[in-house]
Amino acid sequence: MLSLCTFKLNDSEIKLVMPEARFAEPLYTVIDQDRESLARYLPWADAMNSVQDELNFIEFARHQFADRKLFLFVITDNRQPVGMIDLHNVNFDSHSAEVGYWLASSSQGKGIMTNALKQMIINIQPELQLHKITVVADVDNIASRSIPQRLGFTHEAVLKDHIFSNGQYHDADTFIRLFD
């Protein structure tokens, strides 16, 4: 299992690891359990309807990783998959990328995602030589918006009708972090 990083948080060992086929079933279980809350903000949640769908996504992500287009990591808490974090829309010409993330409701409120984003930046930003990382979050998703704020990202703009989820358009806050 390839790991980007490992960190301790309270009594937990948190790892950011490359997605593998063996994670498909436990990730799908978490998605299925949290489908309603995930689908409120994430358009893909309603389209993930089976373990096979998750397995197909993992295979897609691994190919995108090989092409340096998507850098997706499974977040594990004491070896149990509890979410994902990624860099997508990677543009090596402009040295920029966007971050996406989601976390099981049972794992929220513990600092896992804030620390996962912090560690991902520490471990991958120098390798990719990124100048700008952007987080886009539904304006109503207070938990998601608070993560870049805690890490010192700058609020850049509100994008009107930027996210289409649950049959309607939602505004999105954008947060950026610049690197020298």
Phi–psi pair at 138, nearest 5 degrees? -50, 135
| pLDDT tens track for 54-108 | 999 999 999 999 999 999 999 999 999 999 999 999 999 999 999 999 999 999 9
Domain boundaries, the chain: 3-178
Q: Compute how many other C-beta atoms are within 10 angstroms of the C-beta atom of residue 101.
A: 20
For range 18-47, the mean pLDDT: 94
Q: How far apart are CA 118 and CA 162, in angstroms?
A: 25
Instruction: Give the model's pLDDT for residue 1.
Output: 62
Q: Do residues 161 and 169 touch, judged by C-beta distance below 8 A? A: yes
Could you tell me the pTM of the whole model? 0.94
| 3-178, CATH topology level | Aminopeptidase (3.40.630)
| pLDDT tens track for 158-179 | 999 998 887 889 999 999 999 9
